[in-house]
Amino acid sequence: MTNNQQTLSAITTLIEQMAQIGKTSDGGVTRLLYTSDWFKAQQEISDLFQTHQLKTFFDDSGNVYGRAEGKAAAEPVILTGSHIDTVINGGKYDGTYGVLASLLAVSELLEEHGQPQKTIDVVSFCEEEGSRFPLNFWGSGSVTGIHTGKDYSDVLAADGTAFTEAKAQYGFGQGDYLPAERTDIGAFVELHIEQGAILADAGESLGIVKGIVGQKRFIFTVTGESNHAGTTPMHKRRDAMAVATELIHKLIETGRKTDVSFVATVGQMMVEPNTPNVIPGKVTFTLDVRHPSKEALVTYHSKINGFVDQLRTADVDIAVNHYSDVAPVAMSEKLAARAYEHAQAKGLKSRYMYSGAGHDAQILGSVVPTCLLFVPSKNGISHSPHEYTKPEDLQIGVDALKQVIYELAYT
């Protein structure tokens, strides 16, 4: 029987081990899809799967699996895991904790109960964040078939790197591995840090997620003409920055006025030529908007179109690329109830809650019964080197995850 102390030390050791790959100077982690640190991390996970007696394999998108074969091999597979990629200078828990926790949970189940009834696959999704290419949820989206048959040859990173070339550099997308799309999955369970302060503020250890907000992402390209900052009078300028800032103000203010649940973020901006004494000829920026209701997002989107029509002139053009649209998704009530019963039985401080962050569980949750569990994030900080979760809470998460996987795969 594995005791809590052993699990606690195993999870903290593994998190520190993985945090060495892509470590940044201030203690954060950067692992962007199809880069050498990303590949090292997936190989390390594959090795860990193997040392924990799981059969490991990659798929053609770069997702990596560790399999515990069930007695009833024809039954749908129970999938558990999270993602290995990070944002730029992110923390060591976001995604990675879920992958490692799933590995430990399954390994302990095998030790304590032997071979499961149903096959369990632990997955380390190759990408979730959308930090390098405008393709968030690439890993789980590939598995559910969202991306099947689509042409991504013109998808570029902000630095101009072609998606298909980056992918091929590590041997993916060539048909050498199993196709990523799967139709044999029966349920998905993910454990993640909360990335907000609800649990931490309440002094609670476990969040059981009822649903995840919908999310839309856009890239706006505002194009005018570069010219001399000293000699071009204001009325003769084709200033992309002047239009971009007015548009950004409208986008953020409209989000703020919608209701308290609406969030709108302009997180990335590129200015050309990006120099003090030249009028910007081109400004490119991203917009990320989220809300629990699909209707609120659709209404907001129609307002965006209105603003663009208002601000576009013969001198300054605005192009909009709506590259990601993920609907709000409800988690399985039945699986959530199982997790809640576990928390009650263990006397854990827990609650039902909603997620404002996107998760692989959102993608899987639209096709199979899915359970998403949270442990607290210190001060609600995430996507930062300061991300932190107490070892005791990490262990509580693994234990709850183990219980849900047991219910699904052993009973």
Question: By the criterion CB under 6 A, which residues form the site for ligand 1AL?
Answer: 94, 128-130, 136-137, 195, 215, 357-359
Structure tokens at 8: 């606690």
Closest chain position to ligand 1AL (CB): 358
Give the chain's count of helices (H) and strands (E).
11, 16
> What gap in Å lies between CA 60 and CA 37, rounded to an integer?
18
Stretch touching Zn ion by CB under 5 A, among 87-95, 165-173, 197-205, 287-295? 87-95
Q: Is 28 in the site for Zn ion (CB under 5 A)?
A: no
Q: Is 379 helix (H, G, I), strand (E, B) or coil?
A: helix
Binding track over 44-83 against Zn ion, x by CB under 5 A? ----------------------------------------
Output 229 or 330, the one with its CB closest to ligand 1AL: 330
Give min distance, CB of 376 to ligand 1AL, in A. 15
Output 56 or 355, the one with its CB closest to ligand 1AL: 355
Output 281 or 397, the one with its CB closest to Zn ion: 397
Give min distance, CB of 17 to ligand 1AL, in A. 22
Stretch touching Zn ion by CB under 5 A, among 5-13, 86-94, 137-145, 215-223? 86-94
Q: Is 94 in the site for Zn ion (CB under 5 A)?
A: yes
Do 94 and 82 touch, CB atoms closer than 8 A?
no
| Beta-strand runs (E) in 169-316 | 185-193, 206-212, 214-223, 227-228, 263-265, 269-272, 278-279, 282-291
Q: Is 95 in the site for Zn ion (CB under 5 A)?
A: yes
Q: Which residues contact 72 (CB under 8 A, 6 or more apart)?
A: 117, 118
Output 194 or 239, the one with its CB closest to Zn ion: 194
Write the burial class of residue 390 (CB in 10 Å: 0-12 exposed, 13-18 middle, 19+ buried): middle
Stretch touching Zn ion by CB under 5 A, among 58-66, 91-99, 206-214, 343-351? 91-99
Which run of H or of E encompasses 333? helix 333-345
Give min distance, CB of 315 to ligand 1AL, in A. 35
Give min distance, CB of 250 to Zn ion, in A. 27
Output 136 or 223, the one with its CB closest to ligand 1AL: 136
Output 90 or 224, the one with its CB closest to ligand 1AL: 90
Task: Choose among ligand 1AL, Zn ion, none what residue 286 binds, the Cβ cut-off being 5 to 8 Å by kind.
Answer: none
Amino acid code (one letter) for 379: N
**Where do we find the tokens 């930090």?**
131
Q: Which letter does DSSP use for residue 134 in this model?
A: S
Task: Choose among ligand 1AL, Zn ion, none what residue 393 binds, the Cβ cut-off being 5 to 8 Å by kind.
Answer: none
How many residues bind Zn ion, per CB under 5 A? 2
Give min distance, CB of 243 to ligand 1AL, in A. 27
Output 284 or 377, the one with its CB closest to ligand 1AL: 377
Write the burial class of residue 274 (CB in 10 Å: 0-12 exposed, 13-18 middle, 19+ buried): exposed
Helices (H), 173-239: 198-202
Structure tokens at 225: 């003409």
Stretch touching Zn ion by CB under 5 A, among 40-48, 93-101, 282-290, 337-345? 93-101
In 3D space, the residue among 93, 4, 110, 3 whose CA is nearest the CA of residue 51 turns out to be 110
> What gap in Å lies between CA 93 and CA 386, rounded to an integer?
10
**Where do we find the tokens 């919608």?**
258
Q: Is 338 helix (H, G, I), strand (E, B) or coil?
A: helix
Give min distance, CB of 82 to Zn ion, in A. 6
Contacts to Zn ion by CB under 5 A: 94-95
